[in-house]
Amino acid sequence: MKIAISSGHAKDVAGAVGPEPWGLVEVTEARRIVDQVASVLSLHGIDVVTFHDNVSQTQDQNLLAIGSWHEAKKADLNVSIHLNAFEPTAAGRGTEVLYRASDMQETAQEMSDAIAGCGFIDRGPKFRDNLYFLNTVPDSILIEVCFVDSETDARVYREMFNEICDAIANTLSDGWVEQKPGAPAAEMPVVQVSINVPDGVDLQLTINGVDVMMADD
């Protein structure tokens, strides 16, 4: 399985920015998430490629650059990482995952559930047919990790950053913590032990949780 992940927006095409001193900067955090998720996936043997747009100067250029990169990679699953925004608030806003293709709805649901499990409100999967990325790139989802202008979301994000990235990576790879299909099960080593049991003495051993009685015949 090959996974392609890109960060939303570009170095010179800013996304959402939360209020100081606690607000998040979308383009900065999206890049951090992409790099961390890719690192976790690679560590567990998953084929993953990443993209950050450092060239585009306009939104149209940025959208084209991201879409073209994903199309060229021909990945089995394509992911765009974003952070949401509405209006500054102390309350939590939550996480949501956008999709267009019907066969991506289940993945979007699982992803939203997984990220929300780190402490966010679960806004769930959202069907969108007006986003360039989802309309252009097949087998794709767009993750809105949290809201940059929610003080609660920003706090949870900072405290749970590693857990959030692990949740994303685990969902994308369909559970890398589980043994890969076809992988041979670990064999239990065989150890030969010689024990002299005195006449008339019974000896009980516990081996791998099983009681074994050894007695003199």
Q: What is the mean pLDDT of each run of 10 residues along the chain (217 residues)?
A: 97 94 97 98 96 97 98 97 98 98 97 98 98 97 98 98 98 65 37 52 47 47
Q: What is the dihedral of CA 154, 18, 84, 13, to 10 degrees?
A: -130
Domain-embedded: residue 53:
yes
Structural element, H or E, at residue 84: strand 77-84
Give the pLDDT of residue 176: 54
Domain-embedded: residue 208:
no
pTM, two decimals, is 0.81
Instruction: Report the CATH number at residue 104.
Output: 3.40.630.40
Give the pLDDT of residue 212: 42
Q: Are 163 and 118 in contact (CB under 8 A)?
A: yes
What gap in Å lies between CA 32 and CA 25, rounded to an integer? 11
Domain-embedded: residue 213:
no
Q: How many domains does the chain have?
A: 1
Q: Are 65 and 132 in contact (CB under 8 A)?
A: no
Structural domain of residue 79, as residue ranges?
Answer: 2-172
Which residue has tokens 């102390």? 90
**Please, which residues have CB within 8 angstroms of residue 210's CB and are 6 or more apart in sequence?**
none
